Structure 1
Amino acid sequence: MKTAFYRKMAVVALLYLAEGLPFGFVYVTLPVYLRTEGVNLVEIGLLSLAGLSWSLKPLWAPLVDRYGRKYYWMVGALLGLALSVTLLSLVPPAGKLYILFVFLCTLSSATLDIAVDGYTIELLEEEELGPGNGVRVSAYRVAMIGSGGGLVALAHFWGFRPAFLALTVIFLALAALIAFLPDTHLPSMSTKTHDLFGQYILPLKDILKRPYAPVLLFFILTFKIGDATMGSMIYPFWVDRGFTKLEIGLISGTLGSLATIAGSLVGGGLVRSLGLFRALWMLGLTQSLSNLGYAYAALPSSARWTVYVASLVESFTGGLGTAAFLAFLMRLCRRDLSASQYALLATLFSLSFNLSRALGGFGAQAWGYAGFFFFTFWISLPPLLLVPVVFKALPQEAPPS
């Protein structure tokens, strides 16, 4: 029994290492490469539009549920990533062709996300969701760090083209592993409707028919709102408090990422031991309370070390809350509609997350950092009151495929 559990955790780690690599590459390595090649800031900024692929996943997620097994899509997406990264290393970084290859990269990455998320929901039993999401978040972040800062550091010694080609080899190796590893080949549980239009309607219709569906959607939109709103102003706060780039990179960046990974793993274990219901509100409350640490650290009388402590505590508790929340999102999905429903829910969450971050500057400017961080604590509390209600919307048992 334990052997089967650990095999599943290893598969989850493998899949989310693969899923995290493109994100770090697109948002960290690629902008650095383009700027070193003399591409102007406007063009670099516009290339970020390629990230819309990640926001539009519900447009083709039903196709992943409907056609073939999930691992076919994973292997195809990884081959697409290998091809696009190779082309991005060979083609001059300017013009429409280069933009097309960036879109190929993000489209392949978004497709990989859909297939991996859907397969993971089908793979894990309810009691495995907590540890699975702890492993998932940790593997994803490790991959992001490796393909972001790690790849840039590698390029310092090798040059960007060899670094890009090294990433291509990794994508090809991952594609081969998934293609030949039996643990990734489970038959799809997907329900297939009589027509393609129905395949798009059924996942959304099922969610909207759940008890307290409007409350559920509000909960998904707002569970991480305090974390997201505060997060947009953390780095500006560090700069304005006079911290050096080394301090920001080491404490808030590197050690903060490690604290988040640790929090994710601990959070996954707590979901398993406490149960999803208690873990969601307890870890969510812990996540909210950490905002008070930053509010205190932002007071003019607070010592410099309090900012260090606030950063590490916030990163750790953010990992706790994320592990519980992602486990809830996965449990919310019917296993026979896994890819479609998770893509819908993740897009909804992502939309609110980005909007919250966009509005953070208004609050910090109006109330100062301390007042703003205190405000983010209060807006994080209402979703926690909804936990008993939203659990009534969980599917009791997915219909057989």
Structure 2
Amino acid sequence: MDIAVSRRASPSPVTVLLSIGGLYVAQSVIGGITWTGLPAVMRDQGLPLDRIGLISLVALPWALKFLWSPAIERYRLPPAGKTRTGTIVVAGGLVSIAGMCAVGALGPAAWWPVLACLTVVAFAAATVDIACDGFAVQSLAKENHGWGNAAQVGGAYLGSAIGGGLFLFLVDSHGWRIAVWAMAFLLLPLGLPFLLGVANRARAETRAHVPSLASALRRPEIRGGLAASAIYVLAQKAGLAMLGPFLIDAGLNLSTIGIVNGIGSMFVGVAAALAGGALVRWCGTRNVLVLALILQAGSLFFFSVFDVFGGFSTTVLIAVAVLSSSGVMALGFVALYAQFMRWSDPKQAGVDFTLFQCMDALVSMAGGIVAGYAAQYFGYGAFFAGAGVIALMAVPAIAVVSNRR
């Protein structure tokens, strides 16, 4: 049993939520640049879709971070003493800022060096995420897990609005270097609330449990959650991997897509995250997951029809793109990640939650690569139609898996 030896009061749930929310925003700024902004920039420069699909390889550290999550969690939770979450956040943040500055100096024409630098940044951000997720599950009572997940998903969409929206606008108006460096230095103030607040209020404890992958995989909740993550992410994310290039080929410029991404993530995504939290409480996770899959299938079929037949205004296309990539995605992932938090053991939450996220990243990476080739060689119409069918086929599967306890 863990025994607290410090009388310092625990931080309030509101303080914890605001602090971890800043870290989630910072991580998503990096993700928004990598997976939303960069594909659009590359397509604007004329790169083929199969090459753009290779950007998904940057997700490799996010897919493999479960390999070093036990070591990070054992460092974060020593056998005796205070947690070291703040130390991990500082180290990962400095590496991320340095890597982003290097990306800005290299320029988008240096394709492979930029990809290498972004992979290093992804490694640092993924390591910080292990510590941040473990801290969130450990610090929040179960009745506040929904709010914690809303902070996670809402922060993710706010960060995506900056990384995928504001970034593209700055690229179009001020150039690549200024845009990337502005994003890099924005990471610093986003991490300060955590470092100056809850990170300094950790309690000294003694801990008997040693975090490990074996301990996680022995639990049926973890195995069922991994299946749920794979099914859901394949159905929800793979179909949207080519949305940015599709909008470019439909005639939208970088500034327009940047504004669309920004408004969609900042307003629609955050609102949908809050609505998702309420719906999970009222209807349960399974019903929300199924609803999100059906809505996503409808939007994918619309993109297919738009490409094959046309006849719709660009305004309608933009509206559906925003609702699909921001609203429906946020709605579903609030439900999925809320369940992940409940399945995670607070004694090694950084390991358990990381396993779920690695499955998410692994399927996203593979789906993104396949999506690039499918769209390149079969066309957008066939690609989006196939993705819509996959989303519908996932409905009964996710209904069964998400009902497991």
The reply to whether TM is greater than 0.5 is yes
Measure the CA separation in 2 of the matches of 1:349 and 1:85: 24
CA contact (8 A) 1:364 1:372 kept: no
Question: Which residue identity lines up with residue 114 of structure 1 in the other structure?
Answer: I
Matching residue within 307, 316, 319 for 2:330:
319
1:245 correspondence with 2:258: no
SS of the equivalent of 2:70 reads: helix
Moved more, 299-308 or 148-157: 299-308
**Aligned residues: CA RMSD:** 4.4
Q: Which has the higher contact order (CA 8 A, sep 6+)?
A: 2
> What is the CA deviation profile of residues 206-246 of structure 1, one whole-angstrom value per residue up to 9, with x for unaligned ones?
x3xx27x6554322321343323433465677688xx4325
Q: Could you say if the C-alpha distance between residues 336 and 24 of structure 1 is closer, same or farther in structure 2, counting changes exceeding 3 Å?
A: same
Residue type at the aligned position of 1:52? L
Separation in structure 1 between the aligned mates of residue 106 and residue 311 of structure 2, nearest angstrom: 51
Q: Distance in 1 between matches of 2:52 and 2:366?
A: 22
Q: Is contact 1:132-1:268 (8 Å) kept?
A: no
2:298 equivalent in structure 1: 293
2:33 maps to 1:18: no
Give the corresponding residue for 1:54. 62
One-letter identity of the residue aligned with 2:400:
L
> What residue is the counterpart of 1:399 in the other structure?
none
Question: What corresponds to 2:98 in structure 1?
Answer: 83
Deviation at 1:355, TM superposition (A): 3.7
Name the CA distance, whole Å, in 1 between partners of 2:16 and 2:44: 41
Q: State the alpha-carbon separation in 1 of the partners of residues 129 and 59 from structure 2.
A: 13
CA contact (8 A) 2:62 2:362 kept: no
Select 2:386's aligned residue among 372, 377, 382.
372
Q: Shift of the alpha carbon at 1:148?
A: 3.8
Tell whether 2:197 aligns with 1:181.
yes
1:54–1:107 CA contact under 8 A, matched in 2: yes
Q: Larger deviation: 145-154 or 71-80?
A: 145-154
Is the CA contact (8 Å cut-off) linking 2:269 and 2:327 kept in structure 1?
yes
- Maintained 8 Å contact 1:11/1:184: no
Deviation at 1:161, TM superposition (A): 4.1
Identity %: 20
Structure 1: which 5+ runs fail to align?
Answer: 393-401
2:228 pairs with 1:219:
yes
What's the CA shift string for 1:45-85, capped at 9, x where partnerless? 87764442222211211122111422210111112222333
CA distance in 1, matches of 2:37, 2:320: 28
Normalising by structure 1, report the TM-score: 0.74
185-194 or 338-347, larger mean C-alpha shift: 185-194
1:186 CA drift (Å)? 3.3
Q: Secondary structure at the match of 1:128?
A: helix
Residue number in structure 2 paired with 1:340: 351
8 A contact 2:340–2:353 mirrored in 1? yes
Counterparts in 2 of 1:365 and 1:40: CA distance versus 1, 3 Å: closer
Q: Give per-residue Cα distances to partners, 1:291-335, cap 9 Å, x unaligned.
A: 453376455889626756654553423221110101111111101
In structure 2, the residue matched to 1:6 is 14
AA aligned opposite 1:283:
V
Structure 2 match to 1:231: 240
SS at 1:269 equivalent: helix
Does structure 2 retain, via aligned residues, the 8 Å contact 1:296–1:302? Answer: no
Quick one: which amino acid aligns to residue 287 of structure 1?
A
2:152: which partner in 1?
Answer: 136
Give unmatched runs, 5+ long, in structure 2. 1-10, 77-83
* 1:101–1:124 Cα change, 3 Å: same
Q: Whole-Å Cα distance in 2 between the matches of residues 304 and 36 of structure 1?
A: 23
Does 2:316 correspond to 1:279?
no
2:366 is the alignment partner of 1:350: no
Distance of 2:364 and 2:111 partners within structure 1 = 32
Query: Structure 1: how far apart are the matches of 2:245 and 2:115?
Result: 30
Q: Distance in 2 between matches of 1:154 and 1:366?
A: 28
Which residue in 1 is equivalent to 2:8? none
TM-score normalised over the length of structure 2: 0.74
